[in-house]
Chains A and B, each alone.
Chain A
Amino acid sequence: MSKFLKENIFNIFIFLLLSIQAFMYYYDNRPSSKVFSQKSMSVENFSSIVLGKSGLTKIGSEKLNKIDEDNFFLQGKSYLENNEYKIYGEDISINLNEDISHSKKSVQVINSMGTLDAKGFRNIDSEGKIYFDGVVTFKSHD
């Protein structure tokens, strides 16, 4: 046995090196779920400007998740600001194609008349309407 090892140790060493290299090559080229999740795109502390019916709207959030070409999900504390209103809320969904944004979490809206607090909202920008559900309080400026 020892004689066999002495005669073939160099071959065994080469074989092991080649095996390790083949293993590394396989894992480097294998498509992994990790790479896939990065391609779905999520950006932290995001802010950008979109063009809608209300003009330019600045949007921002703790984390932006792109669902598809038209749909975005603003995760965590988020905002939408333009000339007409400032919407501060959480977990806001945006559909750029239909100009709709909505959230079921507490929201505060500030416009040139006052400040509005609600449990959630649905903003249909193409109609110029914002719907607030549940108990709503609107206080005009002093």
Chain B
Amino acid sequence: MALLPLKVMIKIIFFVFSLFLYSNAYSESTVKAGDSLIWDSENKSYTANGDVEFKNDKFIAFADKMIANYIEENNDEIFTVIELFENVVIEFEEETFKGKYAIYTRDDNIIKLTGDVSIESPTRLLTGNELIADIDNNKRILNSANKDSLVEVLLENNADD
């Protein structure tokens, strides 16, 4: 097989790398609101109310209310911080996080939940007061106000293992 000229190969590699960077920087997000949505261009935020659903390439989140802040970068707007209020449910791969309030920061890909939080996976259910989910490093930190409030429950489908 004849080798491609070096210049052509460099161009192809550069093109593929650019596509990769672009797809990571501008991944698609969707916001759905059942009651209303306010776009505040002065404070650079979107406020959604009623059966809110937020979806990006990492996770899907549900809540009663959401405030999404954004920045302008290269003539584009990018969500930077997402706040979710009341009845928060976040589905990430096989895990489900629940809480009363959640904040997601795009820069570090960390989700922090507070208020009667739980983390449910196919094998176990953990409950506490605060959950920090580091998506990039695949770390979960569950904090509790006192020793008794941290609970671990093994789910039924784990009993067969």
Contact = CB atoms under 8 A, between A and B. Distances in A.
A4 to B, nearest CB: 86
Interface stretch (B28-36, B104-112, B130-138, B144-152): B28-36
A131 B48 CA distance: 10
Given A128-B41, A130-B38, A139 B70 contact: no
Given A136-B48, A140-B28, A141-B28, A116 B39 contact: yes
B93 interface: no
B28 A142 contact: yes
A132 B70 contact: no
Interface residues of A, number: 24
Nearest to A118: B37
Contacts of A137: 30-32
Interface residues on B, range: 20 to 34
Nearest to B40: A129
Interface string B12-36: 0000000000000010111111111
A6 B46 CA distance: 92
- Determine the main DSSP class of B at the interface with A: strand
B94 interface: no
B39 A129 contact: yes
Interface in B41-70: 41-43, 46, 48, 70
Contact of A136 (B32, B41, B42, B70): B32
B50 to A, nearest CB: 9
A4 B93 CA distance: 111
Interface of B: 26, 28-43, 46, 48, 70, 72, 75-79
Given A132-B36, A132-B38, 12 more contacts: A109-B39, A112-B72, A127-B40, A127-B42, A128-B43, A129-B39, A130-B38, A133-B36, A135-B34, A136-B31, A138-B37, A139-B30
Interface of A: 84, 109, 111-114, 116, 118, 127-142
